[in-house]
Structure 1
Amino acid sequence: MIALNVRPATPTDAALLARLNDFVHAVHAAERPDVFRADPPATELTSIFDGLLARENAVAFVAESSGRPIGYATATLHHRQGDALTRPRSFVFLEHLAVDPEAGRAGVGTALVDAVRTAGRDAGCSAFLTDVWDFNKNALAFFEAVGFAPMRRFLEQPL
């Protein structure tokens, strides 16, 4: 196990999150080049994270070891009113999770997920959701290991 510090991300972390995103984005771009750009411009990626961190309902965390950033998680808090079909529901949705492969299997991902889970509970959420691309077997196994279970499937058919 490594010495680990998980701290809330700040708006000044946008470029850092953009850089750390490379670890997970490369996997997506390799598996689904029809969906993901191989080399997104750093300025555009930083702008995406600027926008995400500015959202009122955003929560984000950075994991550091010996002062070096090695992972991050971003999520959004949702409070939905019920309607004729659904009950009111509050949940936290994990949007991004990335860990430096050199720090893999050291508890970094689990610590980041725990931080998001706690933020969701503190905000009154009763559920924790995420989505995973079907090709990403490592992510699927990780999320199941930290307590997630399948609840819905998206299916695709090329036209």
Structure 2
Amino acid sequence: MNIHVRQATATDLDSILILNREVQALHASLEPEHFRSDVDEGEVRAFFAGRLEKANHGIWLAESLGRPGGYVWFEKQEKAGTPFSPVRRRVYVHHIVVAADLRRHGVASTLLRCAEASAHGAGMQRIVLDSWAANVGALAFFDSEGFASLSMLLLKDLRNDGESRFRTSA
């Protein structure tokens, strides 16, 4: 499959919004307390338009079969050192989205290469992202792309008599 990837522009906002609906719906179904299912498209448009203008953000659009098929949105992050940690320079992937009918055709891998190239170009040696534990397809993909667990965020929902939703076997 032929995949062309290019930096997104303001004229691509409609395509980004269409693709974003898929990832937003998935996130809202997996974690409804963290993601809205009733997003306002005007707000989403303004949000992405703002990110397109920021020098430390990148949005790249993949086109295949004559149409937009996915995007990656990432941010170049630089955090000052503290007494506890050194200076941190990395690229953080906020979203990687591929249209359902184009998955497993190399679109996501191609988009990740763009984020990696941007990291290399900025002299950054790390690229990080996060994924919801219930998104097993994404976790398998990221594993196949060489990503490894860096940390684990734990949740204790106090509305259910203090029992955690997550259990590990001992």
TM-score (norm 2): 0.87
Q: Which has the greater radius of gyration?
A: 2
Distance in structure 2 (CA, Å) of the matches to 1:155 and 1:47 = 32
Aligned residues: 158
Instruction: Quote how far apart the aligned CAs of 1:47 are.
Output: 1.5
* Cα RMSD after superposing both structures: 1.3
Counterpart contact for 2:97–2:108, Cα < 8 Å: yes
Asked whether the equivalents of residues 74 and 94 of structure 1 are also in contact (C-alpha less than 8 Å), the reply is yes
- Where 1:106 maps in the other structure, the secondary structure is coil
In 2, distance between residues paired with 1:43 and 1:60? Answer: 18
Question: Alpha-carbon deviation of 1:19?
Answer: 1.4
Please list every run of 5 or more consecutive structure 2 residues that lacks an aligned counterpart in the other structure.
159-170
Identity of aligned residues (%): 34
Residue identity matched to 1:100:
A
Deviates more, 1:114-123 or 1:31-40: 31-40
Distance 1:32 1:66 in 2: 32
Q: TM-score, normalised by structure 1?
A: 0.93
Spell out the pairing of 1:3-152 with structure 2 (5 A cutoff): 3-152=2-151
Q: Secondary structure at the match of 2:141?
A: helix
Q: 1:46: Cα distance to partner?
A: 1.0
What one-letter code is carried by the residue in structure 2 that aligns with 1:46? R
Task: Give, in whole Å, the separation in 1 of the partners of 2:82 and 2:34.
Answer: 33
Structure number with the bigger relative contact order (C-alpha 8 A, sep ≥ 6) is 1
Aligned partner of residue 129 in structure 1, secondary structure: strand
8 Å Cα contact 1:14/1:47 also seen in 2: no
Q: Aligned partners of 2:132 and 2:4: how far apart in 1?
A: 28
Matches within 5 A, 1:148-159: 148-159=147-158
CA distance in structure 2 between the partners assigned to 1:153 and 1:50 by the alignment: 31
